[in-house]
Amino acid sequence: MRDRIYVTKRAEVATSHRCAHPDWDDAQNGAVYGLEARPHGHNYLVEATVSGPVDPRTGMVTNIKDVKAALRKVLGDYDHRDLNHDHPAFAGTVPTTERVLEKVFAALAGEIGHGRLDRVRLFESEDACYEAHHPDSPLSPSRRKDTMLITRRYTFSAAHRLHSPHLSEAENREAFRECNNPNGHGHNYTLEVTVQGEVDPATGLAANHLHLDGAVRSEVVDRYHYRHLNDDLPEFADAVTTSENIVRIIWNILEKRLGEGVLYRIRLAETRDNYFEYYG
Ligand SMILES: [Zn+2]
Ligand SMILES: [Zn+2]
């Protein structure tokens, strides 16, 4: 494992689809798939990561041009196509992004000549990423082949002040510097919530994104957006509003709503130039 190098190549396709179970009515499909139940489309950005030892003669794991060619071949069936009508692999199934990822992963794995396909990330948009792994990969969150990671991104704008009641005024200024300004300061926070799950054969979903979005919005975003974290939120009454504390507090709040074993990672960026992660 030590000498494995990870090589990543990306490609984009323009695809339309509609996620609706043929046996369900519009209300039921809307309840399960939300807006995905309407005919619509995405630029899926596909990111393939291949790993292996470096060939001492070439200095490469694999020729990245071969990875590019494999992506082009596999994604040729998707680009400028409608998944419900133009792609035989989805006949009789709901073409969820999870199923697209499963099929792209399996097809790509068959096309990679050198090295192992460790990970495929499929970005449905900049705010939604689906990720599958080779079960032997150290990048995999579990050793189960069908566990996927789903990351959704949210933003909130909030004020805060870093100040600890356990430190003196001088110690607070020393520890937090300009972040200890008595009148506070603020950020456009970016919150990424990653959950893990296996694809449900009935729905084709590994996570119910409506449920996830609902939980994150009602428990975090709607409560934190345009607020002062120190003054307005009871969970920070005894906790310094550092991002280290915020990610742990958000984890605990969301775990109560989503259940144990669902969350994989909470990532919070205060600014474009830093982020903080918690894995529970
Ligand atoms: Zn869609
Ligand atoms: Zn700050």
Give the ligand with the smallest distance to the CA of 158: 2
Residue 20, CA atoms < 13 Å, CB-side half-sphere: 16
Residue 280 C-alpha to ligand 1 middle, in angstroms? 30
Query: Which protein residues have a CB closer than 5 Å to ligand 1 (ion)?
Result: 36
Coil, helix or strand at residue 182: coil
Q: What is the pLDDT of residue 141?
A: 83
Residue 263 C-alpha to ligand 2 middle, in angstroms? 25
Residue 264 C-alpha to ligand 1 middle, in angstroms? 23
- Note whether 270 and 189 are within 8 A (CB): yes
Residue 239 C-alpha to ligand 1 middle, in angstroms? 39
Residue 160 C-alpha to ligand 2 middle, in angstroms? 6
Q: What is the pLDDT of residue 250?
A: 98
Class assignment of domain 1-145? alpha beta
- Within the chain, all domains assigned CATH 3.30.479.10 are found at 1-145, 151-280
- Note whether 117 and 143 are within 8 A (CB): no
Residue 251 C-alpha to ligand 2 middle, in angstroms? 19
Give the ligand with the smallest distance to the CA of 229: 2
CA pair distance 189, 57, nearest whole angstrom: 47
Kindly report the average pLDDT of the chain as a whole number: 95
- Select 151-280's CATH number: 3.40.50.11540, 3.40.1400.10, 1.10.340.30, 3.30.479.10: 3.30.479.10
Tell me the per-residue pLDDT of 205-238, one tens digit each, with 9 for 90 and over: 999 999 999 999 999 999 999 999 999 999 999 9
- Residue by residue, DSSP assigns 192-205 as EEEEEEE--TTT--
Label residue 57 exposed, middle or buried (CB < 10 Å: 0-12, 13-18, 19+).
exposed
Residue 25 C-alpha to ligand 1 middle, in angstroms? 18
Confidence at 1, pLDDT banded by 50, 70, 90: low
- Note whether 150 and 164 are within 8 A (CB): no
Q: What is the pLDDT of residue 226?
A: 98
Tell me the per-residue pLDDT of 77-130, one tens digit each, with 9 for 90 and over: 999 999 999 999 999 899 999 999 999 999 999 999 889 999 999 999 999 999
Give the ligand with the smallest distance to the CA of 178: 2
Give the ligand with the smallest distance to the CA of 94: 1
Residue 32 C-alpha to ligand 1 middle, in angstroms? 13
Give the ligand with the smallest distance to the CA of 246: 2
Question: For 136-155, what is the mean pLDDT?
Answer: 88
Residue 243 C-alpha to ligand 2 middle, in angstroms? 8
Confidence at 278, pLDDT banded by 50, 70, 90: very high
Residue 186 DSSP label: E
